[in-house]
Amino acid sequence: MLSKVALLLFLCVFASLPCVGQAIVVHEVVGTSRAFLVIRDEGGDIIGRGTFVQSTHGSHVFSKLSLNFHDGSVDEDTSHFIQARTFRLIDDHHVQSGPSFPKPIDVAINASGNITTKTTDSGKIKVETSHIDLPPDVANGMLAPAMLNLASRNGEERTISFIAPAGKGRLIHLKVTHDRLDKFTIAGGTVAADVYRVHYDLGGVVGVVAPLVGKQPADTMVWLTHGVPSLVREQGALYDGGPVLSLELAGASFEKNATSPK
């Protein structure tokens, strides 16, 4: 779930911690960027490629993450948010389609908390709408700057809100903790990286969500360069119950036996 938005981290640096449910204060703004990615399966083989493009217009930020698989599948997330005194979601649109995704999704969320989902059953398109009162720290489409505000190397757990693409949409929480220090190579040099674990907390509604999203989703691991952080790798499933994939900055190389999400 996390993969389509975490890549905004390429443009960000660490900021201070907001409390759960409070709007995330902007300390470091994001800017215009383009990044090239590779998608690897659990065996390390490249199964697709991706691009991340971001632009800014005043306080408005527009980003698009496109993952294209060799089997023709597509995972695309397009978002618009504001970075003024705080980060604020305007809208987010996430689409997954093709043979890599047994249950295609098409979910749109706007700042008012209106959620539109499109599903296909027996060739028929079904459109459903719902509403959720969004907390100020909801991070769909802007998870990267949110995570950078929450990231901590002292082991303290940090939490942010997220709308999971389950049914008509469900509000859950993402708990972020520092897992370990690692390293990777790029351009012939070795670079230190902090690895963060993102845990999906279904909270008190687990009984409602579980039948929709399946079992407890596996954690996602995120690699940030040590010191001045930027994202170089994300490892996890793109949908609940899916295989563990690795999204990596093109040109970066990691040890084969890196720890997988649990």
Question: What are the tens digits of pLDDT across the range 104-153?
Answer: 889 999 999 999 998 877 778 888 999 999 999 898 988 777 766 665 55
Q: Please state whether beta strands 114-121 and 60-69 pair in parallel, antiparallel, or not at all (unpaired).
A: unpaired
Q: Is residue 53's pLDDT more than 70?
A: yes
Sequence-distant (≥ 6) Cβ neighbours of residue 19 within 8 angstroms: none
What's the pLDDT score for residue 149? 63
- pLDDT, mean of residues 43-63: 95
The pTM is what?
0.82
What's the pLDDT score for residue 221? 93
Query: In this structure, what is the dihedral angle of CA atoms 184, 51, 81, 235, given to the nearest 10 degrees?
Result: -40
What's the pLDDT score for residue 202? 75
Contact 130, 161 (CB under 8 A): no
Give the residue from 209, 5, 8 showing the smallest Cα distance to 94.
Answer: 5
Q: What is the mean pLDDT of the chain?
A: 81
The neighbour count for residue 201, using CB atoms within 10 Å, is 15
Q: Is residue 94's pLDDT more than 60?
A: yes
Q: Which residue has the higher pLDDT, 227 or 116?
A: 116
User: Where residue 6 falls among pLDDT bands split at 50, 70, 90?
Assistant: very low
Contact 149, 18 (CB under 8 A): yes
In degrees and rounded to multiples of 5, residue 112 shows phi and psi of -80, -5
Q: Which amino acid is at 246?
A: S
Q: Which residue has the higher pLDDT, 6 or 152?
A: 152
What's the pLDDT score for residue 260? 52
Give the residue from 251, 252, 248, 253 showing the smallest Cα distance to 38.
Answer: 248
Q: Is residue 85's pLDDT more than 90?
A: no
- Per-residue DSSP letter, 25: B
User: Where residue 21 falls among pLDDT bands split at 50, 70, 90?
Assistant: low
